[in-house]
Every structure is written in C-alpha cells, then in structure tokens.
Structure 1
Amino acid sequence: MKINPLTKIISLATVLAAGFLLIVLAGAIYGNWSPVAIALVFAFAHLPIAISNQLNVNFDDFLNESTAYALDLGKFLSAFLFISGVALPILLCHSHILQFPAMILTLSGGILIYGTVFTFTEFFDAREDDVFDV
C-alpha cells in the first residue's frame, strides 16, 4: 500500500506544528522564553548533513577524499547540534532556569521538530532517487 505524498507532507507539517506548539507552551506557561532558542537549535541541527550531502552529489567524481571529509564534518556538526539541543534543557533545568515540566515539553517538542526535519529531507531525497529507478 502506497501512501499519497500529499498525505505524508500534511502529516509531517502537523507533527512539526505540534513540536513548535510544545516549545511555545513551555516558554509561555512557565514565563521563560529560552526554549525558543533551543527549538532553533533543533530546527537547524540537520542543516550540516543536508549541505554536506549536496557537496557529495555535486562533486561525486571530483575530490573523493575531500567529500568524504565534508560528509564526516557534516555528520559531526549535526550530532553536536542535536546533543546540544538535548543537553541544554537538562542543564537549564538543573540550574533552575527552566522548571521540570518545561524541560519535558522542550525536549519532546525539540525531538519532534528534529524528527520532522529529518523525515522531510529523507522524503525529498528519496523522491529524486525513485525517478531514476523506473
């Protein structure tokens, strides 16, 4: 059974909106807007992988070793941003800047945001590959 691509995009947009809603609720209810900065970290965490994958596609035959280093650097920076996005709410809760429910809302919203951005990029990368498999 194949799911309609429009249904996938609408469901991913709904999950992304739910993630941002959890982040805004964490900031608004508890009077601290630092979860919004954490949401930006989660939203941009997949960007280094997307950039390094584009380098790999554009320069596939040219500079093989350099593109492998670029891919590794993109993965490292993406992992660094994701782990920072997870650790920052825990650190802020430990230092009593965020309350515990705000930390839970921030972590769950951030993971939803990252998962949605990751799934969006995988969905659109897979669509390009499916065109050539015909």
Structure 2
Amino acid sequence: MTMAGLRTIIALSFVLAIGFLLVILSSALWQNYLPLLVVATYVVAPIPNWLCGRAATSDDFGAESHGVVDFGRWLTGFLVVMGMALPAMFAHCALISYPAMVMSITGGLLIYGTIITFTMFFQEDPDF
C-alpha cells in the first residue's frame, strides 16, 4: 500500500468518526435517539447501487442494460434524500430539536460522503 493510500484511509476514517460523533451527539445531548435512524439510511444507501451495478448485464455486442443500474442509482438517491429529510421531518413535528436536526444532517452527510469517497479512491479498474 502506498503512502498516499494510507493517508487517504486515515483522513477518511477521521471524517467518518466526526460524522458518527455528530450523529451520536445529536441524539445524546437532547436525550432523544430518533436521529440515530440517519445512520441506518446512510449505511444502507450504497447497497442498492452496488447490487444493481453487479446485476447489470451486457450482451455479446457490448450493449449494456442500464435500467437496473438506473434503478439502483435512484434507490440510492432516495435513501440519501431520506437521510436528510427524516431529521427535518422530526424537527418539524417537534420530535427532535432544530440543533439536533442540523447536527444529524451534517453528520449523515459526512458519513455518506466518506463512503462515496472511499469507493471512488479504492475502486479497481478492470484489466483487459
């Protein structure tokens, strides 16, 4: 592993830890654990994109079926938006406070951003 790869992993783990810390603090500071649902949506969000990307088929002429890939991207986008909208809805319904909403959304975006950045940096290119 190169030194740049090690630095990238350390930086990404630091940002991921800050994201989880923000989400946990948004729950613990106000004694309301509903913002922890954001963690579930951001952890599950990349899975449809990964599964549908693997399920995409190509025929003998090189044409790929993009319908499955598009569905996976749509479902991932839905889960990411739900991760931001859920704390906003909870704050609007007065189930959580507005500072908890801001901390939860910020932490969730850091978590998802770290997952996306990790997959971009460490994606293997197919060798032909």
TM-score by length of 1: 0.85
> Equivalent residues in 2 for 1:51-66 (5 A)?
51-56=51-56, 59-61=57-59, 64=63
What is the match of residue 88 of structure 2?
A: 90
**C-alpha displacement at 1:47, in angstroms?**
1.5
What is the match of residue 20 of structure 2?
A: 20
CA distance in 1, matches of 2:10, 2:109: 18
**C-alpha displacement at 1:64, in angstroms?**
4.6
CA distance in 2, matches of 1:54, 1:34: 33
Amino acid at match of 2:117: T
CA distance in 1, matches of 2:95, 2:127: 51
Matched, 1:112 2:110: yes
SS of equivalent residue, structure 1 residue 97: coil
CA distance in 1, matches of 2:81, 2:96: 18
Matched, 1:32 2:41: no
**C-alpha displacement at 1:48, in angstroms?**
1.1
SS of equivalent residue, structure 2 residue 6: helix
Number of positions where the alignment pairs a residue of Structure 1 with one of Structure 2: 126
Amino acid at match of 1:33: Y
CA distance in 1, matches of 2:59, 2:10: 37
2:122 aligns with one of 124, 128, 133: 124
Deviations 1:73-98 (A, max 9, x none): 10110011011111111100000001
CA distance in 2, matches of 1:5, 1:60: 32
CA distance in 1, matches of 2:19, 2:71: 27
CA distance in 1, matches of 2:81, 2:18: 21
1:71 aligns with one of 69, 90, 107: 69
CA distance in 1, matches of 2:3, 2:67: 36
CA distance in 1, matches of 2:8, 2:54: 23
CA RMSD across the alignment: 2.1
CA distance in 2, matches of 1:87, 1:17: 22
Percent same amino acid at aligned positions? 37
Which structure 1 segments of 5+ residues have no match? none
Amino acid at match of 1:123: F
**C-alpha displacement at 1:13, in angstroms?**
0.7
Of Structure 1 and Structure 2, the greater helix share is in 1
What is the match of residue 43 of structure 2?
A: 43
- The list of structure 1 runs, each at least 4 consecutive aligned residues, that deviate by more than 6 angstroms after superposition, is none
